[in-house]
Amino acid sequence: MQYRRMPIEIEAPETYGYENIDCNLSESSYADQRLGDLGISLNDLVLFYGDHLGKPALRELIASQYQLKADQILLTPGAAPALFMVASSLLEKGDHVIVAKSNYATNIETPRAIGANVSFLQMDFDKGYQLDIEALERLLTPATKFVSITYPHNPTGVSINESALKKVIQLVEANGSYLLMDETYREMSFIPMLPLAATLSDRVISVSSMSKSYGLPGIRMGWIICQNKKLMETFLAAKEQIFITNSVVDEEIAYQYMCNKEKLFAPVKATIKKNFEVLKHFMQNQEVLEWVEPQGGCACFPRIKKSIQIDTTQFHEVLLNKYSTYVGPGHWFEQDDRYMRIGYSWDKTEKLEKGMGNIVKAIQELRTA
């Protein structure tokens, strides 16, 4: 493995210091929740090594939503370790993998760190960040171990429909590869929610977590769902070598949250929808940014209009240092810094409005044409 710190982590807002940022639009999750607001009780919890697959009652609860079996769910300490476990289980140095780009950085960096031969399935602004199925067909080779996609997508917020997902699965199956479907934002969808991909084929590996939709990244709780027993055995071996088990504290909080999910998640969805409308209204009434309207998640990936001449490094510096507004610069996603990820549901709605105003001010101030 060739580990290398990723810019998105080196420059993460928590590293910079939340207290130093007035308008934090750099996040890709819903606002972090306070344990005391969730009605969770931990006093009876015994701090033992838990079940190696993960707390059985929680796995049963997740499985029952999709007519799956509890042993088809492997709990992990977040989606990032799940993605790591999948990539390190399926890939060796020199193996071929296809990864959508842009993407959540780990989805690209882990195959790279392994030394895999990574082909990118480009998602272009000018093509509405759409999934190019023909390009995928061209990239697939008999040696392709897996295809890695994320929907709803981070950072763009675009999605696909069920028939496109099924087409991808068909291609992957016909090629004898696997599909790694990062579904971390699946429940945050403005278009009909996609079926859980792993229910559609035993060649699909679904990954998700409690971090983004529920605003619980601090409990480090995610999962892999897969119907292929042999693969699940390998993923369990990976988990046992890295973690043995999850934290039982995290599992218990996740379980109690899930038992009460309908009630806890309803206001989250309402806030995201409200903020999305605020953002949309803002985007329609300014002239310096252009975007592909998101269809889910809680982030979008607009760019400063191509016609505007601006030093983009200076733009991000001024935006942060003068206006105390943080967005995710394009280079976090291996793109030009003319692009920026704007997370619209982590900070308060007033901060979203103020931060968007600051982005426009900084561009107007620095543009040379």
Ligand X SMILES: Cc1ncc(COP(=O)(O)O)c(C=O)c1O
Residues making contact with ligand X (CB under 6 A): 28, 78-80, 104, 150, 154, 182, 184, 209, 211, 217, 222
Shortest gap between Cβ of 106 and ligand X (angstroms)?
7
Shortest gap between Cβ of 222 and ligand X (angstroms)?
4
| Residue 28 vs 177, nearer CB to ligand X | 28
Give me the DSSP letters along 249-269. HHHHHHHHHHHTHHHHHHHHH
| Residue 184 vs 245, nearer CB to ligand X | 184
Shortest gap between Cβ of 239 and ligand X (angstroms)?
14
Structure-block tokens of residue 7: 């810019």
CA–CA distance, 89 with 100 (Å, rounded to integer): 19
| Residue 217 vs 302, nearer CB to ligand X | 217
Shortest gap between Cβ of 90 and ligand X (angstroms)?
17
Are the C-beta atoms of residues 151 and 184 closer than 8 Å to each other?
no
Instruction: Tell me the residue type at 356.
Output: M
CA–CA distance, 318 with 288 (Å, rounded to integer): 16
Are the C-beta atoms of residues 275 and 342 closer than 8 Å to each other?
no
CA–CA distance, 134 with 115 (Å, rounded to integer): 26
| Alpha helices for the chain (secondary structure H) | 7-10, 13-16, 56-64, 79-90, 105-114, 133-139, 162-175, 229-242, 248-259, 261-284, 312-321, 349-366
Shortest gap between Cβ of 208 and ligand X (angstroms)?
8
| Residue 222 vs 330, nearer CB to ligand X | 222
Structure-block tokens of residue 357: 């105003």
Shortest gap between Cβ of 87 and ligand X (angstroms)?
12
| Residue 119 vs 206, nearer CB to ligand X | 206
| Residue 341 vs 358, nearer CB to ligand X | 341
